[in-house]
Amino acid sequence: MFELAAPSALQWLIGVELSYFRRQEGMSLTDLAEASGIGKPKLGHLETGRTNQYPGDIRKLLKACGVDKEHIDRIVLLSSRADEASWVGPWTDVVSDWLRTMVGLESLARKEFVFEPIVLPGLLQTEGYARAMTLGASLVGPDSAARLIEFRMERTRLLSKEEPLELHAVFNEQALRLRVGNKKVMNEQYRHLLGLAELPNVTLQVVKPEAGLHDAVTGQFMLLDFIDARSIVYIEIQDAAVFVDDMARVRTYTLSTQSLERVALSPAESAALIESLIT
């Protein structure tokens, strides 16, 4: 028997790796079950992260898929990492499954590139801005609002932990000018952005409309890069999200990050624009 449970972000990420190598070898779950001696139902749960992925099972599966030792060792090492997303625990009752997975992956990531066309990225928000965003959301009940604000603020600590997340955030000028809360909230937010822009692990760029077209015209996305796993793209869609792990599609988003970086103002020019908005 094996334990079936909701996957943690780390288990989900390992599952993506296992699924990728099986599909690369052109094997079905039935094929892999026959080659590895592990039952098909368990294989399915290993790939979705809904059961414990022990090093022995990982090695057995990947060897059956013809994976080289370097990749096997990499994924086994990944499975031994501490789940750095455990901080989400106190808020699981007010945070959706897809958002919990996203912040869990974010906690495991080495680098993040985020593009936001409408509002400022969550990692950059002040408490006042986050409060105005939360209270203005029609889907957030009054009983959950205070705890969601706490959750938003705890998430921002990823930028200041001992080994901080490397963040490259690009956002439209519209996001800077969108009134969220009152003038005081906006001025505090602008000053906060200027402070963050001075951190060695944070790069901020603003896209002005007159800069013209770029490759991210379809909207918001986040690209997460990991030390021991392949990159993942996260896209929010109203009250749900899409996680992209197909390498070809991830490559498309990687090209979009390069396009945005070229079109956007430089970090210094972006800081000057932000400062000019303080009144």
CB neighbour list of residue 50: distance below 8 Å, 6 or more residues apart: 4, 5, 6, 7, 11
The pLDDT value recorded for residue 87 is 73
- Look up the CATH superfamily of 9-79: lambda repressor-like DNA-binding domains (1.10.260.40)
pLDDT band at 85; cut points 50, 70, 90: low
Distances (CA, A) of 194 to 152, 198, 234, 270: 19, 7, 26, 9
What pLDDT, on a 0 to 100 scale, did the predictor assign at position 124?
Answer: 98
Contacts of 132 (CB under 8 A, 6+ apart): 180, 181, 185
The percentage of the chain sitting over the pLDDT mark of 70, rounded to a whole number, equals: 94
The DSSP output letter for 19 is H
What is the tens place of the pLDDT at every residue in 211-266? 999 999 999 999 999 998 999 999 998 888 999 999 999 999 999 999 999 999 99
**Residue 142 and residue 155: Cα distance in Å, rounded?**
21
How many other C-beta atoms can be found within 10 angstroms of the C-beta atom of residue 122? 21
In this structure, which CATH number among 3.30.870, 4.10.260, 3.30.110, 2.60.40 belongs to the domain 94-276? Answer: 3.30.870
CB neighbour class for 236 (10 Å; exposed up to 12, middle 13-18, buried from 19): middle
Q: Are the C-beta atoms of residues 125 and 133 closer than 8 Å to each other? A: yes
Read off the pLDDT of each residue in 133-150 and give the average, rounded to a whole number: 81
Cβ neighbours of residue 199 under 8 Å, at least 6 residues apart? 159, 164
Q: Find the length of the chain.
A: 279
> Does residue 11 carry a pLDDT above 70?
yes
Task: Supply the pLDDT for residue 83.
Answer: 65
Full-model pTM? 0.88
CA distances to 29, 43, 69, 80, 251 from 64, rounded to whole Å, are 12, 12, 12, 21, 27
C-alpha–C-alpha distance, residues 194 and 273, integer Å: 10
Percent of the chain with pLDDT over 90: 77
In sequence order, which ranges of 37-141 are alpha helices (DSSP H)?
Answer: 40-48, 55-64, 69-79, 97-108, 127-135
Give the model's confidence band at 209: pLDDT under 50 very low, under 70 low, under 90 confident, else very high.
very high
Across all residues in the chain, what is the average pLDDT? Answer: 91
Integer-rounded Cα radius of gyration of the chain: 21
Q: Residue ranges of the domains in the chain?
A: 9-79, 94-276
Most confidently predicted of 3-7, 27-31, 147-151: 27-31
Question: How do residues 180-208 score in pLDDT, each as one tens digit?
Answer: 999 999 999 999 999 999 999 999 999 99
Q: At what angle do helices 97-108 and 9-24 cross, to 10 degrees?
A: 80
Q: Report phi then psi at 182, rounded to 5.
A: -100, -175
- What DSSP state is assigned to residue 265? P
